[in-house]
Amino acid sequence: MNKRLLLWLMLLIGVLIIIIMFTRGNPNQKAPVSDPTVSKITVLSEGSMSEVDSFQTLIIDDQATYQEFVSSNKLVIPNPIDLRDRTVIAIFMGYRPTSGYSVEIADVKEEDQKMFITVNLKQPGKNCINLQVITNPYQIVSIKKTKLPIEIITNVVEYDCP
C-alpha cells in the first residue's frame, strides 16, 4: 500500500510541476515594449495557441477583412479597432512541437519611402527544457495607417536557457 501511495504522490507532484511551468509563461518573452521607436505599435492579441498551422504574415487595412479575419481565426480581441486610421499586422509562426516559441514585432520605421516592420521569431536554444506541447505562436498588432508600401523583415532569434 505504501508503494501505491508513493506512486500517486509522485504523479501528483509531476502534474503540479507541469501546471506551474505552463502557467508561469516564458521568462524570456517580453511585455510590450515602451521604447520610443516601438511606441507606434499597439498589441491587440498574442499568445502560443492559434488556429494557424503555417507561417503567415497578414496586413489588414479594411474593416470587413478584419472582421472576417477575427471570426475565421476564432480570435478574441478585447478592444475594437478603427481601420480608418490604423493598419493591423498579424504574424503567425505556425506549428511548433514544444513550448518556448514566441513572436515579437520589435520595430516599425519609415525609411526610403517604405514602412519596415521588424519581426523577431524567438525559439529556445539547445539548453532549454520545454513542455512537449504543440504550440502555434502569434502576435497581432496595429500601427498608424500609412500610404507607404509595407515590408516585413523576419529574424529568427534563438535564446539560451541557463
Instruction: Provide the pLDDT for residue 153.
Output: 95
pTM score, whole prediction: 0.73
Q: 19: which residues sit within 8 A by CB, 6+ positions away?
A: none
- Between residues 103 and 71, which one has the greater pLDDT? 103
Q: Average model confidence (pLDDT) for the chain?
A: 84
In SS3 terms, 57-107 reads as EEEECCHHHHHHHHHHCCCCCCCCCCCCCEEEEEEECCCECCCCCEEEEEE
Which pLDDT band, with edges at 50, 70 and 90, does 4 fall under? confident
Q: Are residues 29 and 122 in contact, defined by beta-carbon separation less than 8 angstroms? A: yes
Instruction: Provide the pLDDT for residue 74.
Output: 79
- Between residues 26 and 143, which one has the greater pLDDT? 143
Q: What is the DSSP letter of 51?
A: S
- Block residue for cell numbers 500609412: 146
pLDDT tens-digit readout, 56-86: 999 999 999 988 888 888 777 877 888 999 9
pLDDT tens-digit readout, 107-147: 999 999 999 999 999 999 988 988 899 999 999 999 999 89
Give me the percent of the chain exceeding a pLDDT of 70: 86
